[in-house]
Amino acid sequence: MLPLEFFRTGIADNNYQGYKLEPLELKKDFNCNTRGSRTQEEHRRKGVRNFIIEIYDLIAKKNISELNISQITFDEEFEANKYQKIFDISGNNFANLKIYTGNIVGSIIYKSNHFNINCRFGNQFLKYMIANTSGFLELENFGDIDKECGIGEWILIYYWRLLLKKAFSLGLYKTYQHRKENLHTVKGVININSMLKKNFFDGKTVCNFKEHSYKNELNAVIQMALAKVFKSKYLSIVSDIYDIKNAFDSINNPKLNLNSIRSQKVINPYFRKYNQVFEFSLKILRDEFANAGGKNTDLSAFLFDISLLFEHHIRKILKQQFTLFIKNKHEFSIPNGIDENKIFPDVIIDCGNNKIKIYDVKYKKFNFTYGVNREDRFQLITYVATHLQGYEVIECGIIYPLEVRESKEEKPEGENKQTYIQTLRVCNKEIPFEIKFYPIRKEINKQSEADKNFLESFSLE
């Protein structure tokens, strides 16, 4: 695989063993110019190595909290872990350098070259989760990610399109505007000053009134974003929303100066879904797919924590049949020596009569050799112990994603092992403990069936 293709499609999330550079084919220049050089391969090795090292120094070795990065937020209940690295490396030369990834997915563009961190279950499943999260499940129109478009850019446009469709289903956003007209019939309030200034009564009355209008800054910004996207390389992503574009084009909005536009919030609760559409439209107009490196660098990025998306996806599936506690319900806390940390499990199913089931959601790989690691076990024990103060916990466990393999030969070593319902003993209570797997199908059109099977593995008893 050539370096250009490797950095676009060859790297996925949650790889703790590391990606090596050694297998790469150095047939073409990458991040270097070897024209006329007798040591082409050596220069190309340095070009690839320098590309990784420079990105790492500029962005990856820092925590997300230290960077100004565009991120998708899928729900107000969820808050990203800002103390994780985008990726990590070991080694310092082409022969021994390795790239390690975690939960961060998206695109980094450096010196016009893409460094994509893809979903390890395939970008089709990533799109499926995003579509499900936004309320639109569109299996026919997924399409493929353009080779000229990084996964981060693709997600931004795709998610913006879904949000726009959801908001547009409520109708075009309209606001009240003050009007003053000379009318045959009275409308609103008579403008006394204007009437007194008339030389003679012409049978009309000058009135001040308010009227609904589609001409407003929010619609103008969305209209400009639509025009830009439909003329860009992202056309294939939005090709099915021509009717929405035509609706916005029918509004005779005045041209706006992007520098004068400020973020605004739609106060009317009926149209509140337009808030995110407006924010993403501004990002598109200002080319803010990525601003991690600042205005004076060759680096930009659009990244997000896929573990949050997966957790939101699981909660949305479970909500189809069960009542869940809200994620930001802060009932319990534990001291940390300075302050107190709020305790909120990923999933709490309300079984009625003060009975609950507690589950933690992990996007990481389940270790079929050693089981749940020490940190995750203690985290679940803390959740259960604290909630036993106010509830009867009747079941607990951890939910992991697992790609469905059709045959035993396809399964990695150890994955044929079964997990069992065990007992967790906490505070003199014996609570059933179970590992549950969310099945991920290779054929994305069968994923909704897998979701139903996953939902059926839960009950209120």
Distance separating alpha carbons of residues 103 and 14, to the nearest angstrom: 6
Check whether 140 has a pLDDT greater than 50: no
- Report residue 288's pLDDT band, with 50, 70 and 90 as the boundaries: low
**Which of 173-182, 238-247, 283-292, 427-436 shows the lowest per-residue confidence on average (mean pLDDT)?**
283-292
Q: Compare 89 and 183 and report the one with higher pLDDT.
A: 89
Q: Compare 40 and 450 and report the one with higher pLDDT.
A: 450
Length of the chain, in residues: 461
Taking residues 91-96, what's their average pLDDT?
A: 91
Check whether 70 has a pLDDT greater than 80: no
Beta strands (DSSP E) in 9-94 are: 19-20, 87-90
- Report residue 96's pLDDT band, with 50, 70 and 90 as the boundaries: very high
Distance separating alpha carbons of residues 436 and 421, to the nearest angstrom: 10
Taking residues 325-331, what's their average pLDDT?
A: 78
Taking residues 437-448, what's their average pLDDT?
A: 91
What pLDDT is attached to residue 92?
87
Pairing of strands 347-352, 429-440: unpaired
Sorted by where each begins, the domain ranges of the chain are: 3-170+217-307, 175-213, 319-456
Check whether 138 has a pLDDT greater than 50: no
Check whether 3 has a pLDDT greater than 60: yes
- Report residue 292's pLDDT band, with 50, 70 and 90 as the boundaries: very low
Q: How does pLDDT run across 368-420, given as a tens digit for each residue?
A: 888 999 999 999 999 999 999 999 999 999 999 999 876 555 555 455 556 67
- Report residue 210's pLDDT band, with 50, 70 and 90 as the boundaries: confident
What pLDDT is attached to residue 265?
73
Check whether 142 has a pLDDT greater than 50: no
Share of the chain above pLDDT 90, in %: 37
Distance separating alpha carbons of residues 394 and 378, to the nearest angstrom: 18
Q: Is 430 helix (H, G, I), strand (E, B) or coil?
A: strand
Q: What is the DSSP string of 249-318?
A: HTS-PPP--GGG-------SGGGTTHHHHHHHHHHHHTTTT--TT-TTSSEEEEEEEHHHHHHHHHHHHH
Q: How does pLDDT run across 11-64, given as a tens digit for each residue?
A: 999 999 999 998 899 988 888 877 766 788 888 899 999 999 999 988 776 666
Q: How does pLDDT run across 163-201, given as a tens digit for each residue?
A: 899 899 989 988 878 888 898 888 888 888 888 888 888
Taking residues 434-448, what's their average pLDDT?
A: 92
| CA–centroid distance for 105 within its chain | 9
- Report residue 290's pLDDT band, with 50, 70 and 90 as the boundaries: very low
Distance separating alpha carbons of residues 232 and 289, to the nearest angstrom: 14
What pLDDT is attached to residue 112?
82
State the average pLDDT for the chain.
83
Q: How does pLDDT run across 261-273, given as a tens digit for each residue?
A: 776 678 788 888 8
What pLDDT is attached to residue 101?
94
Taking residues 92-116, what's their average pLDDT?
A: 89
What pLDDT is attached to residue 308?
87
Taking residues 254-263, what's their average pLDDT?
A: 74
What pLDDT is attached to residue 111?
85
Check whether 291 has a pLDDT greater than 80: no
**Which of 63-67, 249-253, 453-457 shows the lowest per-residue confidence on average (mean pLDDT)?**
63-67
Q: Is 224 helix (H, G, I), strand (E, B) or coil?
A: helix
Taking residues 202-219, what's their average pLDDT?
A: 86
Taking residues 347-375, what's their average pLDDT?
A: 93
137, 231 Cβ separation under 8 angstroms: no
What pLDDT is attached to residue 106?
84
